[in-house]
A and B are shown apart, each in its own frame.
Chain A
């Protein structure tokens, strides 16, 4: 009984906090900037989504195949080196990568795409690698013994059983990417980060909230959507809870 009370208290406090936040936002008319500049909002939103989609797509297209390649027997000796590099890369903040790319490529949409793309590679690559490596070697042995060809082992055994991990990596990457894209404004990439930085610079809470709230909702929504996709795509037997 006591434990239930604590749980419910925490939940109620969180919901009340959220409610208070929205009441505060609306009573101060902080979303007015968004309503009054709705056309501009849509342009910024479209830029934002374009940046995220393009860089994420490129990152998936590069990271998944490279992780597959380094787990092939022929290339396995490179795997240690690659993993070390990837782990080091993970400790480098995304802002540093954006800044470095700007130093090298100057400002603009392309710089933003390249920087976001580079940063998104890491989580996807790492999770794909971990997913494929965690596939039980007995399964591969069985598959070989039953006469699977190498590509059949990859597509029928390894990838389906690594799917959960791969999609989780993509989800992490995309969600981080949505946030990183907000910074892309700084290097001329556009997007909803525009209003946040302008808001900070001119001390205008309305502009600030009109940028920050939609980005937050976008990140949470995309996260939820990808979680749903995860449930749809991953075979029931290959989910971690069932192993």
Chain B
């Protein structure tokens, strides 16, 4: 849906912010642009809706070059969320949320209905918040409003520039979970800028890791963690990358390749985990219970087998050997 075709951005005479980046964002996917500050990730994002110009190369939106599209109309088709939420202090919550529908000339009733739908989506009471102003809300609430404002005119795509960066860790996690739940329903195409590897792993279907304007690796979180394309990627994802990668694999996935161990010990004596648990939690339970393994239960709470440390280890080694990393030329 969004395609970068060897896009380059040069500021002034010779400052190259983005260097020949090509990548495709497919419909319904979240692609996280990840990298240290100054790596060009935000510039890359802002070129899609024309907030930054493209020096060389092209960006296609729905197969059409953004240069051929009307900038204003394009922006109204793409939701935009920024770190500091960008809520307008002079407008109340309802006016903020329905600002794009207002620009598009929706009727009063449609706007009201849409506002109520969106508020329900993030679990805020429409009547309660309608007439309040942004400064009267907490940071987490403001950010939720920022997100539903971007969704208001039901744009097919969204650009999110460190949308949860200003929130404290506990609130951030809650808002991330909420957003993922919403995304599972709405299936938007999303470009998401982050400098936080954990956030990228959690939010991204794919991660584009950048350094000095260049794309280092563009792949699924699991591939990036297990098969970093070069030293920079390995360093950026951290020494604990294998532990991190445990979080994106669930017992169900392991079960596709291996048989679970026999459950020879009675349920109750060792810890029990559901088969949708991730492998990091599994190891954590094993260590905590001071036993060799954990019971795995299915949706009906029936024990279907056991997982031990060796099995998890085997699975991870297997993954790393099997898949070749995808490197950007």
- Report A-B touching, CB under 8 Å: yes
CA distance A243 to B88 in the complex (A): 11
Interface class of chain A by DSSP = helix
Interface positions of A from 118 to 160, Cβ below 8 Å from B: 136, 138-139, 141-149, 152, 156-157, 160
CB <8 Å contact, A147 and B103: yes
Closest chain B CB from A56 CB (angstroms): 25
How does the 8 Å CB contact mask read for B127-138 relative to A, with 1 for contact and 0 for none?
000000111000
CB <8 Å contact, A147 and B72: yes
Interface: A3 (CB within 8 A): no
Most buried by B among A136, A144, A161: A144
Residues of B within 8 A of A148 (CB): 103
Interface: B84 (CB within 8 A): yes
Interface positions of B from 73 to 109, Cβ below 8 Å from A: 73-76, 78, 80, 82, 84, 86-92, 99-100, 103
CB <8 Å contact, A236 and B133: yes
CB <8 Å contact, B51 and A242: no
CB <8 Å contact, A138 and B80: no
Question: CB within 8 A of B82: which of A141, A163, A242?
Answer: A141
Interface: B49 (CB within 8 A): yes
Chain B interface category by residue count: 20 to 34
Interface: B193 (CB within 8 A): no
Most buried by A among B88, B99, B133: B88
Closest chain A CB from B70 CB (angstroms): 10
Most buried by A among B82, B90, B149: B90
Residues of A within 8 A of B86 (CB): 138-139, 141-143, 145
Residues of A within 8 A of B72 (CB): 147, 149
Residues of A within 8 A of B103 (CB): 146-148, 152
Interface: A235 (CB within 8 A): yes
Question: CB within 8 A of A242: which of B84, B135, B159?
Answer: B135
Residues of A within 8 A of B76 (CB): 146-147
Q: What count of chain A residues pass the 8 Å CB interface test? A: 24
Residues of B within 8 A of A161 (CB): 88-90
Assuming the contacts A139-B88, A242-B89, asked whether A145 and B134 have C-beta atoms less than 8 A apart, the reply is no
Residues of B within 8 A of A235 (CB): 89-91, 133
Residues of B within 8 A of A142 (CB): 80, 82, 86-88
CB <8 Å contact, B159 and A237: no
CA distance A139 to B75 in the complex (A): 15
Interface: A238 (CB within 8 A): yes
CB <8 Å contact, B89 and A237: yes
CA distance A145 to B84 in the complex (A): 14
The 6 tightest CB contacts between A and B, nearest first, are A142-B86, A237-B133, A145-B80, A147-B75, A147-B76, A160-B90
A-B contact pairs, 12 of them (CB 8 A): A139-B88, A142-B86, A142-B87, A145-B51, A145-B82, A146-B150, A147-B75, A160-B91, A161-B89, A237-B88, A237-B90, A237-B134
Given contacts A145-B78, A152-B103, 15 further A-B contacts (CB under 8 A): A139-B88, A139-B89, A141-B82, A143-B86, A145-B46, A145-B159, A146-B76, A146-B149, A160-B91, A161-B89, A163-B90, A235-B91, A236-B133, A237-B134, A238-B89
Q: Give A contacts to B, CB under 8 Å.
A: 136, 138-139, 141-149, 152, 156-157, 160-161, 163, 235-238, 242-243
Q: Give B contacts to A, CB under 8 Å.
A: 46, 49, 51, 72-76, 78, 80, 82, 84, 86-92, 99-100, 103, 133-135, 149-150, 159
